[in-house]
Structure 1
Amino acid sequence: MALSLLVLTDFFQPADHALAYADALAGAIGAQLVLLHVRRDAVLDPEYLTGRVDNLSQEAIDLALASLTRDVTAPTVAEVGHGRVAEVVAAALARHQPALVVLGHRNTDGMADELVSTAALNILRTAPQPMLVVPVGAASTVPRRLLLALDAEPFSLGGHTGLVRHLFDALPAELTVLHVGADRDEATTGTAAAVEAIERTGLVLDLSGGLPTRSLVHATPAGGILEVAATGEFDAVVLVARPRSFLGELFHRSVTAHVLLHSPIPVLVLPAE
């Protein structure tokens, strides 16, 4: 199965950094890149990606895309869409069937979460798809230590299962399951349930020694995940986002949103059915 990564760009630094990260990842897993720029009607959303407005002419966009594609090493095609970013991305997903959508994330730590909108939120709502959000400060290196943060509930990735498993198989990375509980008993029993949940999906077959695990006691799941992410022990966080995490108006209160906004390392979001 040939993999492709759909990378959003608005030509500002967070998006450029995400492209460099995607290029390194594509080289490691043998994927091609689809570089997508959206000319905004209402949104590209500078508000979502960089906080700046895109007023470039078509000629300037073509030159910028040509410059970006020259600088990457993976096979790359570039496209320009017009309209709302989530709708343009949904159309591109239907055409290319990528393994991941990759986008950059500017530093929003100085803003209240409820004031921060992200392209990730709109895409998850419109066309749920495995998504990699790369913060500006993340190193552009291939991830080799993945922190898989799970709750204790069963889940299914539905039609995304095959692509995600292929991605995990192609990526030379070790998965560690993290479960955060309010007390030691909850953390321990929840970790066992989390491992059982991931094993039932079929995503981690062929692991003779089993999955490494970590149980953590913390007041909040998001706080616990971010605490471990900040240790430097892992290269990326993997989250399973349930529909309630991104379909409601209170997205900013979810674990997924809080980790997306504040993680110092890339976050791979897997939307569950």
Structure 2
Amino acid sequence: MAVIARLPVLYPHCYLCSKHRPMTTPSLLILTDFFRAADQALAYATNLAKPLGARLVLLHVRRDSLLDPEMFTGQLSNLSKEATALALSRVADDLAVPMTVEIGHGRVAFAVADVVSRHHPLLIVLGRPDYSATPDELVQTTALDILRTAPYPMLIVPHTVSSPALPRRVLLAVDGEDFTIGPHAGAMRHLTRTLGVELTVLHVAPDAATDVSEEEVLNSVRRTGLGVDLPVPMRFRRTVAARPADGILHAAQAGDTDLLVMLARPRSFWGKLFGRSVTAEVLLASTVPVLVLPTLA
């Protein structure tokens, strides 16, 4: 069970009440534990919020359960309640966009689900720490837990990302099958149109003899509306890889991608997500930000 304490909306520039943005303003939900990866994700989200006209919802969850897998990785903040409140206040003072602060207690995925149900953000944003020195059996990341418990569009910013520059060159990895992103389609179209992204659709084939055509792959994306109103037509790229995750990572890290978009189908959540699905492997290894879109099919 997660308990949420709601703090007042903070407006760093002391806007007059008549100019306060209404709660219907688009928002981005940011998770913070005050470590470096979270700080980098916050900088990235702040830069993203400006062109979107969005406010930030900053969530800190106090995680003191001995059953929390990250208790064994050294990745949890042990600040007192007073120190946490002070740290959040300082973060708010440094931001140039409107922000709401919330403090949760308990399991992160449940706290996130509660905040999402009230704020309906465009995205959940969180940083990915450096797990290179952590044994694989202990790597049970917050992102994967949230995706399994409360699937929602999620932007994961790796600790390797040092620049909060807006993403322009977007690589969407698909499997060629039809998909729909349901209620999130409008938010995703708003994001891609506002940022004026250049969208490249990547199809990873297990061998060169694949019978899925370029047109079939692009049509599967067009039907979702994701390619509508972009500054340039969607591009297509195909790569051959025995392991799909390897093909996606190689393509995304070639130097011409600012943001990687992955689809997480329902079968991944209930079947293979914690058995190292393609989505999970990419999330743990990508050096560029990854936007995960839960699909309805």
**TM-score in same-fold range (> 0.5):** yes
Task: Name which of 128, 131, 135 aligns with 1:108.
Answer: 131
Alignment of 1:73-84 (within 5 A): 73-84=96-107
**What amino acid does structure 2 have at the position aligned with 1:12?**
F
**What amino acid does structure 1 have at the position aligned with 2:124?**
V
The residue number in structure 1 matching 2:3 is none
Are residue 148 (structure 1) and residue 172 (structure 2) matched? yes
1:101-146 CA distance string (max 9 Å, x none): 0000012245554541111111111211000000011121110100
Instruction: Please identify, of 127-136 and 248-257, the stretch whose mean Cα deviation from structure 2 is larger.
Output: 248-257
Figure out how many residues of one structure are paired with residues of the other and give that number: 271
The residue number in structure 1 matching 2:225 is 202
Instruction: Please identify, of 84-93 and 191-200, the stretch whose mean Cα deviation from structure 2 is larger.
Output: 191-200
Aligned Cα root-mean-square deviation (Å) = 2.2
The residue number in structure 2 matching 1:29 is 52
Instruction: Please identify, of 82-91 and 105-114, the stretch whose mean Cα deviation from structure 2 is larger.
Output: 105-114
TM-aligned CA distance change 1:124 to 1:250, over 3 Å: closer
**What amino acid does structure 2 have at the position aligned with 1:94?**
S
Identity of aligned residues (%): 53
- In the alignment, the residues of structure 1 paired with residue 124 and residue 154 of structure 2 have an alpha-carbon distance, to the nearest angstrom, of 5
The residue number in structure 2 matching 1:169 is 193
- In the alignment, the residues of structure 2 paired with residue 268 and residue 246 of structure 1 have an alpha-carbon distance, to the nearest angstrom, of 16
TM-aligned CA distance change 1:43 to 1:118, over 3 Å: farther
Instruction: Please identify, of 247-256 and 93-102, the stretch whose mean Cα deviation from structure 2 is larger.
Output: 247-256
Task: Name which of 6, 14, 39 aligns with 1:16.
Answer: 39
**What amino acid does structure 1 have at the position aligned with 2:142?**
A
Unpaired runs of 5+ residues, structure 2, are 1-23
The residue number in structure 1 matching 2:87 is 64
TM-aligned CA distance change 1:73 to 1:116, over 3 Å: same
TM-aligned CA distance change 1:111 to 1:153, over 3 Å: farther
- In the alignment, the residues of structure 2 paired with residue 45 and residue 34 of structure 1 have an alpha-carbon distance, to the nearest angstrom, of 24
- In the alignment, the residues of structure 2 paired with residue 43 and residue 97 of structure 1 have an alpha-carbon distance, to the nearest angstrom, of 30
SS at match of 1:124: helix
SS at match of 1:129: coil
Task: Name which of 194, 197, 202 aligns with 1:178.
Answer: 202
How much does 1:45 deviate?
Answer: 6.5
How much does 1:43 deviate?
Answer: 7.9
Given that 1:41 and 1:84 are in contact with CA atoms closer than 8 Å, whether structure 2 keeps it comes out as: no
TM-aligned CA distance change 1:51 to 1:194, over 3 Å: farther
- In the alignment, the residues of structure 2 paired with residue 164 and residue 134 of structure 1 have an alpha-carbon distance, to the nearest angstrom, of 18
The residue number in structure 2 matching 1:261 is 284
Given that 2:33 and 2:60 are in contact with CA atoms closer than 8 Å, whether structure 1 keeps it comes out as: yes
Unpaired runs of 5+ residues, structure 1, are none
Alignment of 1:84-163 (within 5 A): 84-111=107-134, 113-138=136-161, 139-163=163-187
1:125-179 CA distance string (max 9 Å, x none): 1211000000011121110100001111111111211222222222221110001
Structure with more of its chain in helix, by fraction: 1
TM-aligned CA distance change 1:185 to 1:28, over 3 Å: farther
